[in-house]
Amino acid sequence: MKVFVTGGAGYIGSITATELLNAGHDVIVYDNLSTGHRDAIPEGARFVRGDLGQPKKLARLLAEERPDAVMHFGAASLVPESVANPAKYYRNNVAYTLNLLHAMLETGVNRIVFSSTAAVYGIPKTIPITEETPTNPINPYGESKLMIEWMLRRFDEAYGMRYAILRYFNAAGALPNRGEHHDPETHLIPLVLQVALGQREHIKIFGTDYPTPDGTAIRDYIHVQDLASAHILALEALDEGSRTYNLGNGQGFSVKQVIETARSVTGHPIPAVEAPRRPGDPPILIASSQRIQRELGWRPRFTSLREIIASAWEWHRTHPNGYRR
């Protein structure tokens, strides 16, 4: 298939684009490089630098390329930033996705795989979280992604646009030559590995009084290559109907367990200091991904935290400056 990948220069988008090419698909990457990296885009993909805020350009490009489907990774995705600057999230995520959907309607492109998030659930009352768990986002980032989910459902009902909504839990890990590089970095695993590289003094543990066994928050870390394989399965199943899936590996690890595992993987002491809770952080997020396993036969290949952190460490160790030249 020919796949139009928005945000294909970003962490998850570039790795999925790489796996799409490996699976024999054609890829066009559309990215404004505001947070993505030119060097993350795989060789073999056509790259067009552009913004989702340019509807005419989008429609022209879709009319010219006639892709079979869109994979839509392009978004603003920092929870604290979304609280401080909600306008950016409703514009970049909601309004710009509407531009994309309009351009798809105009040009007859009617399949989309959409990057959603565990943040649509807010603070769930039950764990593990299934797709039936009520959505109740607690920040503009999660709201913006949920609004897009609503648009997709209505566009399917009204115009027959087929969608796969993939709600990611905590993406982590790397390929040998592609990994996580955000500026500024806010995610736990890359920050911990920056301490191991000597680029930071210590890691702050945000909250040690959560109702969890060691008092620190628990997350479900899923390897980015397992996310990529789920996208490809979801793409190939779109003709059979629209669907919504959680993507996690079904196990929770606390912040302290992540730091401890990183110490063991890197052989570095990784000093940690206790700090107050970070506003907006739910105590525990663990996915049930039974639905995609049952319906599409998806299986995560990286089930141990150690393997996930080891793959991230390999990338950070060999690319201490990320994609910076």
Strand pairing class (218-219; 243-247): unpaired
- Output the smallest distance, CB 66 to ligand UFG, in A: 32
Q: Is 11 in the site for ligand UFG (CB under 6 A)?
A: no
**Whether 231 contacts 297, CB under 8 Å:** no
User: Measuring CA to CA, how many Å separate 67 from each of 83, 100, 186, 295?
Assistant: 35, 13, 34, 25
Active-site residue, 11 included: no
The two structure tokens encoding residue 197: 């590289």
188 binds ligand UFG, rule: CB under 6 A: yes
Instruction: Choose one: 25-33, 128-136, 186-194, 291-299; the region binding ligand UFG (CB under 6 A).
Output: 186-194
Per-residue interface string for the shown chain with ligand UFG, residues 277-316, x marking contact by CB under 6 A: -x--x---x-------------------------------
Applying CB under 6 A, among 76, 100, 191, 227 the residue interacting with ligand UFG is 191
* Residues in region 54-73 near ligand UFG by CB under 6 A: none
Strands 243-247 vs 26-31: parallel, antiparallel or unpaired: unpaired
Residue 153: φ, ψ to 5°: -60, -45
Q: Give me the amino acid identity at 3.
A: V
Of 62 and 285, which CB lies nearer to ligand UFG in the complex structure? 285
Token pair, residue 143, equals: 């709201």
Give the shortest CB-157-to-ligand UFG separation in angstroms: 27
Site membership for ligand UFG, residue 143 (CB under 6 A): no
The answer to whether residue 187 forms part of the interface with ligand UFG (CB under 6 A) is yes
Among residues 141, 163, 210, 245, which one is catalytic?
Answer: 141
- The b-or-e profile of 247-271 (16+ CB within 10 A means b, else e) is bbbbbbbbbbbbbbbbbebbebebe
In whole angstroms, give the CA distance from residue 86 to residue 147.
13
Assess 170 for contact with ligand UFG (CB under 6 A): yes
Q: Helix, strand, coil: what percent of the chain each, to 5?
A: 40, 20, 40
Give the one residue of 45, 203, 224, 234 binding ligand UFG; rule: CB under 6 A: 203
Over the window 218 to 247, marking each residue x when it contacts ligand UFG by CB under 6 A and - when it does not, the resulting string is -x----------------------------
> What is the enclosing helix (H) or strand (E) of 186?
none
Of 118, 161, 166, 284, the residue at the interface with ligand UFG (CB under 6 A) is 118
Contacting residues toward ligand UFG, per CB under 6 A: 77, 79, 117-119, 141, 170, 186-188, 191, 203-206, 217, 219, 255, 278, 281, 285
Catalytic residues: 141
